[in-house]
Amino acid sequence: MKHCGKNIELASLDDIFSTEETRRGGRHEEIRRLPLSNLVPFKNHPFRVVDDERMTETVESVKAYGVLAPIIVRPLEDGTYEIVSGHRRKRACELAGQEEIPAIVREMDDDEATLAMVDSNLQRENILPSERAKAYQMKLEALSRRSGRPSKEVQENVSQLGTRLPRADEIVARDAGTSRNQVQRFIRLNNLEQPLLQRVDQGALAFTPAVELSYLTPQEQQWVDHALEETQQTPSLSQAQRLKQESRAGTLTEDTVRKVISEEKKPLCNSVTLSHDTLKKYFPKSYTAKQMESVILQLLDSWQRKRQRAQER
C-alpha cells in the first residue's frame, strides 16, 4: 500500500535549543586578518578584561607565537566587526603592539551571538559572581526568545516521545553543570544595587544572604550598604531573611536595618571550618574566598544529586 504525502523530518530538541557555536562546530570557515581598529566589543559584554598577571602571560605568548586561536566576530552594518569571542586576545594584541588579529567572521543574529559569547566565556576559571549573574540572564533571555513557541509538529513529536520541551533555565543549568535553582539564584544578583554587588564580588558579602537582599527595594539596599560601612559587619543568612520579611511587610526602616546588621552573631554549633591554606592547593592563585565557596557548593550539589540517584536505584 502506497503512502500519500511526504515524510516530515522533525527538528530534534538539541537542534531547537543548541547554540550557534555548537551547530557551527566542525564546519570549515575561512580565517581572515582584521585590523584591531575595526573591532568593537560585544554590546553589554558581562565579562571583565583585566590587565593582570594572566594578561601579561598572554601578551608574551602573542609576541612569541602570535594569536594561535582566531577570535570570532560578526559583521555590523557600519563596516565594523563585533567581537563575539576573543576580547582578551584582542586586548593582548593591543598591548603587544599588533595591528591585526586572525578572526573568523560569522553572520549571526543577536540571540545567536549572545549564546556563542556566553558559552565561550563561562568556561573561564576566574569569573566573578556579577559576571556569571549577567551571563546567565543574557543566555536565558536569548534562549527564551529563540525557542519561542514550538511548531505543532515538534509538539506532537515531543508528546509521542513521552517527554517535554526543556525550560530555558534548565538548559542554562545543564550547560553550566549546575542546578536550575542555582541559576535562578545567580540571576537574582542582577537586582542588587551596585555597591552591594561589588561587595559580593569582593567576598565581603556572602552569596546566599546577597540573594535574600536582592528582594529589597533600591532605597532599602542603600540603607544596608550604609549600615555595612558603618558597622564593618556582614549580614548572616538569618539577618538577611529578616530584612527581606520586613521589606515585604512594608515595615522596614533605616533604623531597623542598622539594628539588625549591628546584632552580635551567635556562634554556629557543630560548624566546619576550612582554612585558606587547606583550600588554596585546590584552586588557582587568583581565586577569592567567595569563588572558592561557590565551587565547593556546586561540587556538593553534584555529590548530593549522585547520592540521591544511587538511593533511588
Which of 95, 110, 126 is the C-terminal boundary of a domain?
A: 126
The answer as to whether 136 is a domain residue is no
The CA distances from residue 286 to 55, 69, 123, 283, in Å, are 12, 24, 15, 8
DSSP conformational letter for 3 = P
pLDDT at 101: 96
The answer as to whether 40 is a domain residue is yes
The answer as to whether 224 is a domain residue is yes
Whether residue 106 sits in one domain with residue 29: yes
Which of 79, 111, 126 is the C-terminal boundary of a domain?
A: 126
Count of CB atoms within 10 A of residue 238's CB? 14
Residues 144, 97: contact at Cβ < 8 Å?
no
First to last CA, the chain: 46
Residues 70, 31: contact at Cβ < 8 Å?
yes
**Which amino acid, residue 59?**
V
d(C-alpha 167, C-alpha 140), whole Å:
9
Report residue 308: phi and psi, to 5°. Answer: -65, -40
Give residue 248's domain range. 192-263+289-294
d(C-alpha 189, C-alpha 213), whole Å:
9
d(C-alpha 256, C-alpha 41), whole Å:
44
DSSP for 88-153, please give it: HHHHHHHHTT-SEEEEEE----HHHHHHHHHHHHTT-S---HHHHHHHHHHHHHHHHHHH-S--HH
Using alpha carbons, select from 252, 121, 257, 268 the residue that is nearest to residue 196. Answer: 257
The answer as to whether 226 is a domain residue is yes
Counting the structural domains of the chain, the total is: 2
The answer as to whether 88 is a domain residue is yes
DSSP conformational letter for 32 = E
Give the CATH number for residue 82.
3.90.1530.10
3-54: pLDDT as tens digits? 444 333 333 444 444 444 444 544 557 899 999 999 999 999 999 999 999 9
The answer as to whether 181 is a domain residue is no
The answer as to whether 41 is a domain residue is yes
Q: Average pLDDT in the 113-126 region?
A: 90
Whether residue 205 sits in one domain with residue 111: no
Whether residue 202 sits in one domain with residue 120: no
Give pTM, 2 decimals.
Answer: 0.71
224-262: pLDDT as tens digits? 999 999 988 999 999 999 999 999 999 999 999 999 999
Which grid coordinates are listed for 74?
Answer: 560578526
The answer as to whether 269 is a domain residue is no
